[in-house]
Amino acid sequence: MNPAAPSLTPPSLVAGFGCRQGCTAAELGALLDACLAEAGVPPARLAALATREDRALEPGLQALAAERNLPLQGVSPEALNALEARLSQPSERVRALAGSAGVAEAAALALADRLGQGPSHLLLDKRRSARATCALACIHLEAERP
């Protein structure tokens, strides 16, 4: 595949992030790139970035969104909590810190659900760096008709 060639596949993924305050765009970007590589998908497949509402104002996440030319969407605590049954790794520690059993996976799923025509699913469950987590969710796109 020629990396300079335009992608014929529409953006169909959401990257969800959990991060500590002060996490840099460089760390978040490296984690995102590692997740995309592990999943075997090009960056052009990304439609948006998601995180919990209060972290959407983090300078590192805002800088990453600007660098990648992607929207960054904050997800409410209620929406994160509503997705607990769909998380691969719910965490009581994260619940104590963030108010929900997961942030990266839940944020990715919540936004992918909102952007799609049906329930989304995780393509890659959360991966960690020193100060952040990232997960990839597939947006359910309606199949093309002949």
90, 122 contact by CB (below 8 A): no
Cα(first)–Cα(last) distance of the chain, in Å? 26
| pLDDT class of 141 with cuts at 50, 70, 90 | confident
Structure tokens of 114? 């909102």
43 has a pLDDT exceeding 90: yes
92 has a pLDDT exceeding 80: no
| pLDDT class of 8 with cuts at 50, 70, 90 | low
Report d(CA 112, CA 102) in Å as an integer: 16
Q: CATH for 13-138, among 3.30.420.180, 2.60.40.790, 3.40.50.1860, 3.40.50.2020?
A: 3.30.420.180
Q: What is the pLDDT of residue 58?
A: 97
Q: Which residue has the higher pLDDT, 24 or 144?
A: 24
